[in-house]
Chains A and B, each alone.
Chain A
Amino acid sequence: MILNIKPETKKGWRLLSTPFIFSILLLAAPLTMMLLLSFWTQDYLILDRTFTLNNYIEAFTQPVYQLLFSRSLAISLTVTFFTVLLAYPMAYFISFHGGERKALWLFLITIPFWTSYLLRMFLWKVILGYNGVLNSFLLWLEMITEPLTFILYNANAVVIALTHGWAPFAILPIFVSLEKIDRSLLEASRDLGDGPFHQFFRVVLPLSAPGVVGAALIIFIPTVGDYITPKLVGGTDGLMIANMIQVQFSKANNAPLAAALSVSSLMIVAFISIVFVLVNRKHLRRY
């Protein structure tokens, strides 16, 4: 049989080959290895390669892992909620009241990225600590009599730090979806009797829904697996599943269990994301 491939098809394959090889080497291969590893057993220094589901049974039945999974999801969902809630007004302001300075406002939003993520997270210790900026300030104002302790080394601190750190990632997609709204639709809604309140809920919000859904996914997916923030500001009450995975890979020397936890985490996040997209699919039409 003679292979009859059109020149365009060949060209297409050539163009695709580099990213394709790249993604196989750096994405598919590690994932497959992780998946394989999760079905094996670590026996001190030897890796037992007989197929077993024990790691998964352990991951889903041990109370400590259940707690860490549910805490990670709770923290991540809270962070997603607050990030989107806080990012929306900012995106709205830039899009509708940014005037000629939109580019400047967007530029200002990127300024936190000039410092490393690690440093930014670390600085929350300085702000939220027992003798930190916030407590000193509130004491000076005499609004409190002794320093607040519920704001550092627990889940609250993780939520605060993550919400701050991920805000720009939520602002940008919402901003883009707001920018795409035809301004004459806003006038039409006013013309047909809506005040600013109804205009927002009947036109602006539904039409910017794709940006909100996108922002929510962008925040939710990576924050579930965040490792450094809970490590720095989470104390013991704020530890998340990624911290346990790290411990299993290193100190506990149980790579297969760590792999099973990773894969489980991946599945849970994928499942929630898919459900979220399906629930919102009528909002995701492109207008």
Chain B
Amino acid sequence: MTTLVEVQDISKSFGAVNAVDGVSLEIDQGQFFSLLGPSGCGKTTLLRLIAGFERPSSGHLLIDNKPMDGVEPNLRPTNMVFQNYAIFPHLNVEQNVAYGLRKKSISKIEKEEMINQVLELVGLSELNLRSANALSGGQKQRVALARALILKPKVLLLDEPLSALDKKLREQMQLELRHLQRAVGITFILVTHDQEEALTMSDKVAVMFDGKVEQVASPRELYERPTSQRVASFIGAMNFINGTVMEAKNEIGINSDILGPLTISRSQVFGDLTENKIIIGIRPERISIVSDGSSVTGSISGRITDASYFGETTYYKVACGKGSETLTVSAQNSFGQMDYQIGEEVKLNVDIKSLVGFSD
């Protein structure tokens, strides 16, 4: 895979605020790359730096090995799908889609053909002459996509493109976008604050906090092996348990109130173990509830204190150990799954292999 976009130690400050703070990234050709983070983490600023709407305070950007210092947005091989779509209200669908074709020396017939092709690609055939004001949110988004894709950019930048759509349409568009990206083979860079969206759509995700990139990884790695507590709690739900390091060699021995003594591999622990304190993270679905009677070795006793029903899943809060600490446990409401009542005494089985440890 060749690197298409190279962000080299880019910073951008607005007054005293460092919106982007020393970010370096490499994005491969044909990749679906997401910038994920809470609002105000600098992900949109980074996208605008790549598009050329902002100039970096320091650092460099290369697209296809060409430096982009001082290159205006209209001369970059990037196109953008704006958060509010930015559809030109005085033009109809066809005119919007053809907007960027002005400079290309192509015949009218060819142009017409390109427009129809791209409209078909985004699922808007036969709407060529509809006024921009008569479009729904989802249709506007498709026009914005078509308008950018028709120019065959090297990189397509998407700034929270799905945030204005309702849940059903959003999920449908996530799939469509992914299919579209595979079909056209263009590198997509997506900005989103929705972790589910980032996980389902991307090949690679960069998680950003306070202007810095905290972790760049594939969705699976990000979810299963988050390198910091911040990333772990931002993506999905995770139980954090305070523990003490008893032994730190290739294997790490940990003791904690809730889980008791256990041993995990060094590769499951992130950060330097300078102190003997450690925080253990475990996803709710990596704990299973077994009824009180059927005791398995190594299982933990607890009592259900709360149950939240989410349809396909139920989240239980289970009080364990001597203290008042509780673990969140999720149970798929699949065939044969038991229902537990609040107050019920249960045993928990923990998947030790999926534990992660953080030194901070």
Chain A: residues with CB nearer than 8 A to chain B? Answer: 182, 184-185, 187-195, 198, 202-203, 206-207, 285, 287
Instruction: For residue B48, give the distance in angstroms from its CB to the closest CB of chain A.
Output: 9
Q: Can you give 16 contacting A-B residue pairs, CB < 8 Å?
A: A184-B82, A185-B88, A187-B53, A188-B88, A189-B99, A190-B72, A190-B73, A191-B51, A191-B78, A192-B100, A192-B148, A193-B74, A193-B102, A193-B103, A195-B74, A198-B102
**Interface range on chain B: under 10, 10 to 19, 20 to 34, or 35 or more?**
20 to 34
A191 near B90 (CB under 8 angstroms)? no
| CB nearest neighbor in A for B153 | A191
Contacts of A182 in B (CB 8 A): 84, 86
Q: Does B283 contact A (CB under 8 A)?
A: no
Q: Does B79 contact A (CB under 8 A)?
A: yes
B90 near A206 (CB under 8 angstroms)? yes
User: Which listed residue (A187, A203, A206) contacts B73, Cβ 8 A?
Assistant: A187
**Known: A184-B86, A185-B88, A287-B89. Is A191-B103 also a contact (CB below 8 A)?**
no
Instruction: For residue A111, give the distance in angstroms from its CB to the closest CB of chain B.
Output: 32
Which residue of B51, B83, B86 has the most chain A CB atoms within 10 A of its CB atom? B86
Q: Does B163 contact A (CB under 8 A)?
A: no
Q: Please name 18 further chain A to chain B contacts, defined as beta carbons within 8 Å, in addition to the given A187-B53, A189-B88, A190-B74, sorted by A numbering.
A: A182-B84, A182-B86, A184-B82, A187-B80, A187-B86, A188-B80, A188-B86, A189-B99, A190-B72, A191-B80, A192-B74, A192-B79, A192-B151, A194-B102, A195-B74, A203-B88, A285-B90, A287-B90
Instruction: For residue A196, give the distance in angstroms from its CB to the closest CB of chain B.
Output: 9
Q: Does B332 contact A (CB under 8 A)?
A: no
Instruction: For residue B81, give the distance in angstroms from its CB to the closest CB of chain A.
Output: 10
A195 to B103, CA, bound (A): 11
Contacts of B303 in A (CB 8 A): none
Q: How would you classify the secondary structure of chain A's contact residues: helix, strand, loop or mixed?
A: helix
Contacts of B58 in A (CB 8 A): none
B82 near A188 (CB under 8 angstroms)? yes
Instruction: For residue B98, give the distance in angstroms from its CB to the closest CB of chain A.
Output: 10
User: Which listed residue (B74, B84, B88, B133) contacts A191, Cβ 8 A?
Assistant: B74
Instruction: For residue A79, give the distance in angstroms from its CB to the closest CB of chain B.
Output: 28
Contacts of B89 in A (CB 8 A): 185, 207, 287
Chain B: residues with CB nearer than 8 A to chain A? Answer: 51, 53, 72-74, 78-80, 82-84, 86, 88-90, 99-100, 102-103, 133, 147-148, 151
| CB nearest neighbor in B for A185 | B86
Instruction: For residue B318, give the distance in angstroms from its CB to the closest CB of chain A.
Output: 48
A193 near B86 (CB under 8 angstroms)? no
Which residue of A188, A189, A287 has the most chain B CB atoms within 10 A of its CB atom? A188
A193 to B151, CA, bound (A): 10
B102 near A207 (CB under 8 angstroms)? no
A-B interface, 10 closest residue pairs, ranked by CB to CB distance from nearest:
A192-B100, A287-B89, A188-B86, A184-B86, A190-B73, A191-B80, A193-B74, A206-B90, A193-B100, A192-B99
Contacts of B102 in A (CB 8 A): 193-194, 198
Contacts of B84 in A (CB 8 A): 182, 184
A198 to B89, CA, bound (A): 17
Which residue of B74, B84, B100 has the most chain A CB atoms within 10 A of its CB atom? B74
Contacts of B72 in A (CB 8 A): 190, 195
Instruction: For residue B47, give the distance in angstroms from its CB to the closest CB of chain A.
Output: 12
A212 to B37, CA, bound (A): 43
Contacts of B74 in A (CB 8 A): 190-195
A194 to B99, CA, bound (A): 9
| CB nearest neighbor in A for B90 | A206
Instruction: For residue B72, give the distance in angstroms from its CB to the closest CB of chain A.
Output: 7
Contacts of B79 in A (CB 8 A): 191-192
A48 to B121, CA, bound (A): 79
A141 to B190, CA, bound (A): 63
Contacts of A193 in B (CB 8 A): 74, 100, 102-103, 151
Instruction: For residue A10, give the distance in angstroms from its CB to the closest CB of chain B.
Output: 37
A190 to B133, CA, bound (A): 22
Contacts of A190 in B (CB 8 A): 53, 72-74
A117 to B100, CA, bound (A): 49
Contacts of B73 in A (CB 8 A): 187, 190-191
A93 to B99, CA, bound (A): 26
Instruction: For residue A209, give the distance in angstroms from its CB to the closest CB of chain B.
Output: 8
A195 to B102, CA, bound (A): 12
| CB nearest neighbor in A for B100 | A192
Instruction: For residue B76, give the distance in angstroms from its CB to the closest CB of chain A.
Output: 8
Contacts of B151 in A (CB 8 A): 192-193
A261 to B53, CA, bound (A): 58
Contacts of B82 in A (CB 8 A): 184, 187-188
A285 to B73, CA, bound (A): 30
Contacts of B147 in A (CB 8 A): 192
A258 to B99, CA, bound (A): 55
A163 to B73, CA, bound (A): 39
Contacts of A195 in B (CB 8 A): 72, 74
A207 near B90 (CB under 8 angstroms)? yes
Contacts of A191 in B (CB 8 A): 51, 53, 73-74, 78-80, 148
Contacts of B80 in A (CB 8 A): 187-188, 191
Contacts of B83 in A (CB 8 A): 184
Contacts of A207 in B (CB 8 A): 89-90
| CB nearest neighbor in B for A282 | B90
A215 to B26, CA, bound (A): 52
A287 to B88, CA, bound (A): 9
Contacts of A188 in B (CB 8 A): 80, 82, 86, 88
Contacts of A287 in B (CB 8 A): 89-90, 133
Contacts of A192 in B (CB 8 A): 74, 79, 99-100, 147-148, 151
A205 to B151, CA, bound (A): 24
Which residue of A185, A193, A198, A203 has the most chain B CB atoms within 10 A of its CB atom? A193
